[in-house]
Amino acid sequence: MNQAKRSLAFLLTVYRILPCLCGKNYEKIASFTPEKVVCICFFSFFACCGRVEKSAASPQRKQQRNFDMQPLTLKIDESTAGRAVKSLLRHELAASNAHISRLKRRENGILLNGKPCYVTARVQAGDELQMEIGDEPDGHIVPMSFPLDVRFEDEYLLIIDKAAGIAVHQSTRNPEELTLENAVCAYLGGSISPHPVSRLDRGTSGLILFAKSGYLHERLRRMQHTGAYLRTYQGIAVGKVEPPSGKIERPIGLAEGSTYRRAVTEGGAPALTEYRTLAGSERLTLLELLPRTGKTHQLRVHMASVGYPLAGDWLYGERNDALIARPALHSCSLELTHPITGERIALVSDLPEDMRALTQDMILMEEDQQDGNESD
């Protein structure tokens, strides 16, 4: 069969190449010397062989997807019998329309009783529906290695303790910059693009969650700011925060005339932050910050809007490298219910050294203040 394909491809290639070489001047073809015809035939033969071999290899490569994750399986009982496959994927397996569209383009993306099926197919009791949840290699993130502080990993999720000063995403302003995405991509083998579930600013340190597929990323994003997914931060604000605990509910949008800076604006998106004081002095306050929504720069904007910007926040407060060379914000706690196993994961990250130094200064300030009050 392959020999017949090669012969046919050879004839077609000669038929296509000859007119191209002589500008579709067919009289010129008749004047070709035997040596020239032989050269053309050799060229055509190797070209068509390469094309046939590539075509023959394509199905094999298509099956060599980097799916490390086992597909999700749904066993059909009387309560789900009679429903369409798409309905089950959406409501029982929590697949988005985007994920279903991707699966429809895969050979074994959706299987009913071990065979590919249409999403309009109806199921019966006793059937078994399978759905792939892994990603195909896409290569749009360049793998670049550097050491990572991995706090949790399984075949679905990866949690990193990020150092301050590293961007999570590549920026159009600096596309060659090494980012956490590049490092995680290299850590995962270089073929799968990681999906950060929650963003941390370049200057923010602490725990960040990566999903190992787009399907898991979509599920986790829907879980954010619910009891199934909680993030807690610690921040150091300038001044003595009053009241010591409370809520900041102010809408956030782009600042006027800026494409990057945010501000509390009347037409902004709803945003809610809860806070409470952990320690403090007259000059600095250590806060626990709980974002109930996930707007860009939310914690930094909200604290600045009530008159207590974070220490070192050059964008929403004042730059003070002598105090701390970045916004004093740390993702200290992450709790979530695993979207596949149902396991409860709870991790804690200690304050980094630069923020610990500020808390020590805070204690010394408080002691000095108490000594001053006693002497009075």
> What is residue 2's predicted lDDT score, i.e. its pLDDT?
47
> 77-98 burial, b for 16+ CB within 10 Å, e for fewer?
eeebeeeebbebbbeebebbee
Annotated catalytic residue, options 135, 201, 313, 354: 201
Confidence of residue 71 (pLDDT cuts 50, 70, 90): very high
pTM across the whole model: 0.76
What residue type is 36 in one-letter code? K
pLDDT in tens, 251-308: 999 999 998 999 999 999 999 999 999 999 999 999 999 999 999 999 999 999 999 9
Confidence of residue 24 (pLDDT cuts 50, 70, 90): very low
> What is residue 192's predicted lDDT score, i.e. its pLDDT?
78
pLDDT in tens, 300-316: 999 999 999 999 999 99
Q: Is 201 a catalytic residue?
A: yes
> 182-213 burial, b for 16+ CB within 10 Å, e for fewer?
bbbbbbbebebbbbbbbebbbbbbbbbbbbbb
> What is residue 65's predicted lDDT score, i.e. its pLDDT?
39
> What is residue 26's predicted lDDT score, i.e. its pLDDT?
45
